[in-house]
Structure 1
Amino acid sequence: MIKTMLHPLSITAYMATIIVALMIVFPNVTLDSALRGVSIWWEVLFPALFPFFVFSELMIGFGLVHFFGKILDPFMRPLFRLPGIGGFVITLGYISGYPVGARITAQLWDQGLLNRREGERLVAFTTSSDPIFLIGAVSIGFFHNSDLALVLAASHYSGAFLIGLLMRFHDIKAERLEQSQFSKATTSSISNYRQSKLYAALQAMHQARLMDGRPFSVILQQAIQSALRLMIVVGGLVVFFSVVLGLLTEGHILHMLIITLQHIFQWFGISGSAAEAIVPGLFEVTLGAQQSSLINLSLQHQAAIAVAILSWGGFSVHAQVASLLSHTPIRYMPFLISRIIHAILSVILLYILWGWLGPVA
């Protein structure tokens, strides 16, 4: 009986029932939270993500992904055990922020350019905050301290790079079965790179363009349609989690979670103030990062909590990534584990780098 009650589906059903009950009890909060979610989606996420979604579709259609794949293959395989096209995902993922890395990874899997193992490795360390949000919103907007941006960025993106190095050992047993073929392919790749790297890359791009065969007008139209469908999904998830967070706050459930975490922290000698930012940050990055700047702790500890929240991503981002990968065999669990490790590594790096890159007191 107890096992049935603790089954994941049963827990989800209970949580859904609680949320629906709260929606009935607090209809005004539901409406206000939904409007706030729509506002965030329309004013922030849509202009920030939509161009990148269209741009990634166009680059794949024109074969530019294959061009970068040829150029970067000799570097990506030794470092991350990924094909060269992974460099394209890393670049766009870090520039545009979550969940663009997951989106492009799913596109490359659809094209047959990645396998499941490579996709899981790639999503694990290309899901990060974009520099504009980290610098403009967090450092300047929330902390009112532009000098904080350097140490936040260094710890956050260095942590992501370390996750990439760690993930090269992900699913290593299956990799060893292909080790002999991998060694031959790598040797040949490096040889070709040294001889005529640009010609080989251009040739690969040209062949990919011929295989695609769609005219520019069709590629552009389908890219916009695909990007709009994806933005609707992202918007729906943002509104959903905005409503959930609003209801949990109004129903004092979030407050109960904060108090519980404060007691746990006290056992380990950690200030209970940290829970006031960590609990909202578990659900949503923006709210957690903002709250981290308001808690009664030193700037260094506030920044550590903020970078942990940025690296974790929030359940809202997790849901977006899971939705984008749902039609692929790429699993969510490696991504979840990587987010936890990324948060821990980023905090450690921030404390290490604070003396060199942190704001001057």
Structure 2
Amino acid sequence: MARTILYAAISILMVAAIIRQPDEAFQASLQGLTIWWNIVFPGLLPFLVLFELIAAFGLIHGIGALLRPLMRGLFKLPGEAALPLLFGWLSGHQAGAEATAALRRDQLVTRREGQRLLALSHMPNPLFMIVVIGAGFLHRPELGLFIALMVWLSALCTAGWISLFSRRRSASHHLNAPQAAVAPRGLMENAADAITTSRDRDGRSFGKVLGDAVSSGVQKLLVVGGFMIFAAVAARLALPLIQFALPSGIAELVLPALLESHIGAYGAAVWQGPGITTAISAAAVAAILAWSGLSALLQSGYAITGTDLKLLPLIGVRLLHALHAAGLALLLWKPAQAALAMLPSRLTGATAAMLQDGAHWQRPSNAYEAVTAVGLPSLWPYALTAVAVLAIMLLLMRAAAPRVPGLKKR
């Protein structure tokens, strides 16, 4: 009852704030929409479609049979967990959450394993870190690479803590784990049997699978866009409430960082103030990306709807990841700068010139200045490349599918 009253009160306050500040609400919604269309939609759609196709063709079970010993040894997870990890690290948190939820619904992971896999696969899009933040926001692609490395390294550190904490709890699972000394031919035959069984169970034609995958991916991304727009509007409208308690430069950064990682990272990248060095700004960006924002957490919560996975443990892991990311960025700043200085200057300069025209770019003062489509680097060119690779993979899967049953009969 109390929760219902609280939600109703927040909704009424949001409506009143929009009526009182319609221009700010409109600009914030445009900001969220622009980021979604230029970054999130092209960065996620190919991976969401690909995962649906991989699941339909039974490749999840085949990959799980091949990677089971490796995943058990590294992360105390079944082999099928390799795909959510791969998709989360290559595409972003939404793809990782969707893949994790799919494995849990199919009972391929236990609840405890699914909870740990959800935390490990919840990662920011690498193209956003390197291309948009490095070359677009900071005009220094090497800084984007540094931030990405800090986020990835801190994720591995966090994964180590999680594995260490859950080692005793998952000790019983090792009794059922397959022996690592299985012959390579046996692994391949087991993978072929798993692929064939799963494919026969699905039974849909290639055209049906492709249509369902595209339809499902677009529908999920529309929900993601709604979350992002809502978070952007909430961050803009709630700004006057915290400006009384925080200094002006901090207030414009805290709310976007808490609510929406893309806008928060944008604010941290252009953060200005006394004592704000490039190292502090990079550490703040890394921490915000590792935290991912309430918008991304709610998106993961939506993805795991219908499963017994919980959102609260994921929030705790995100906080731990953010602390690791900020600490490692500050600790490794000087060694990393020395290493990044060895990169070819022509490479970084060409990347920055290709993505952003620096002569016409003016540094904004905070994250609440609208991100325009002209000033924001887009991932659409990379999405077209991903679609081409996806088409090739589809043709290969289509060509290999008829030969899989033959392996089973051997």
Q: Is the 8 A contact 1:74 1:190 kept in 2?
A: yes
Letter in 1 for 2:176: A
Q: Which one of 197, 204, 210 corresponds to residue 194 of structure 2?
A: 204
Residues 103-135 of structure 1 show CA distances to partners (whole Å, capped at 9, x for unaligned) of 111111122212211111011121111111001
Q: Which one of 106, 109, 115 corresponds to residue 120 of structure 1?
A: 115
Residues 325-350 of structure 1 show CA distances to partners (whole Å, capped at 9, x for unaligned) of 12111000110000000000111211
Q: Does 1:69 align with 2:71?
A: no
Q: Number of residue pairs matched?
A: 337
Q: Does 1:183 align with 2:174?
A: yes
Residues 142-200 of structure 1 show CA distances to partners (whole Å, capped at 9, x for unaligned) of 11212213321221011112222222356667535xx1xx33332x3423355633332
SS in 1 for 2:108: coil
Distance 2:233 2:16 in 1: 13
Distance 1:347 1:21 in 2: 37
Residues 275-312 of structure 1 show CA distances to partners (whole Å, capped at 9, x for unaligned) of 64333211111222122122221111111111000100
Q: Which one of 226, 235, 244 corresponds to residue 225 of structure 2?
A: 235
Percent of aligned pairs with the same amino acid: 29
TM-score, with length taken from structure 1: 0.86
Distance 2:41 2:145 in 1: 27
Letter in 1 for 2:175: K
Distance 1:175 1:133 in 2: 35
**Partner in structure 1 of residue 309 of structure 2:** 330
**Partner in structure 2 of residue 303 of structure 1:** 282
Distance 1:303 1:90 in 2: 25
Q: Which one of 45, 55, 59 corresponds to residue 60 of structure 1?
A: 55
Letter in 1 for 2:257: G
- Offset at residue 58 of structure 1 (A): 0.4
Mean Cα deviation higher: 7-16 or 120-129:
7-16
Letter in 2 for 1:218: K
Q: Which one of 194, 197, 210 corresponds to residue 220 of structure 1?
A: 210
Question: What is the aligned-residue RMSD (CA, Å)?
Answer: 2.3
Q: Which one of 25, 29, 33 corresponds to residue 28 of structure 2?
A: 33
Measured at CA, do residues 315 and 25 of structure 1 come closer, stay the same or move farther in structure 2, by a change above 3 Å? same
Distance 1:233 1:101 in 2: 16
Distance 1:213 1:290 in 2: 45
TM-score, with length taken from structure 2: 0.76
Q: Which one of 317, 342, 351 corresponds to residue 296 of structure 2?
A: 317
Q: Does 1:285 align with 2:261?
A: yes
Q: Which one of 238, 244, 264 corresponds to residue 256 of structure 1?
A: 244
Q: Which one of 229, 236, 247 corresponds to residue 246 of structure 1?
A: 236
**Partner in structure 2 of residue 268 of structure 1:** none
Measured at CA, do residues 216 and 195 of structure 1 come closer, stay the same or move farther in structure 2, by a change above 3 Å? closer
Letter in 2 for 1:62: F
SS in 2 for 1:339: helix
Residues 209-248 of structure 1 show CA distances to partners (whole Å, capped at 9, x for unaligned) of 1222221122112212221221221121112112212322
Distance 1:175 1:223 in 2: 34
Letter in 2 for 1:184: L
Letter in 2 for 1:69: G
Distance 2:76 2:127 in 1: 29
- Greater share of helix residues, 1 or 2? 1
- Offset at residue 56 of structure 1 (A): 0.6
Distance 1:133 1:243 in 2: 21
Q: Is the 8 A contact 2:39 2:128 kept in 1?
A: no
Measured at CA, do residues 144 and 185 of structure 1 come closer, stay the same or move farther in structure 2, by a change above 3 Å? same
Letter in 1 for 2:263: L
Letter in 1 for 2:206: F
SS in 2 for 1:156: helix
Q: Does 1:109 align with 2:104?
A: yes
Unmatched segments (≥5 aa) in structure 2:
342-410
Q: Which one of 121, 135, 140 corresponds to residue 135 of structure 2?
A: 140
- Offset at residue 321 of structure 1 (A): 0.8
Measured at CA, do residues 144 and 217 of structure 1 come closer, stay the same or move farther in structure 2, by a change above 3 Å? same
Task: Spell out the pairing of 1:142-161 with structure 2 (5 A cutoff).
Answer: 142-161=137-156
Distance 2:231 2:18 in 1: 13
Letter in 2 for 1:230: K
Q: Is the 8 A contact 1:124 1:335 kept in 2?
A: yes
Mean Cα deviation higher: 133-142 or 290-299:
290-299
Distance 2:9 2:135 in 1: 40
Mean Cα deviation higher: 200-209 or 123-132:
200-209
Q: Is the 8 A contact 2:264 2:288 kept in 1?
A: yes
Distance 1:35 1:306 in 2: 22
SS in 1 for 2:212: helix
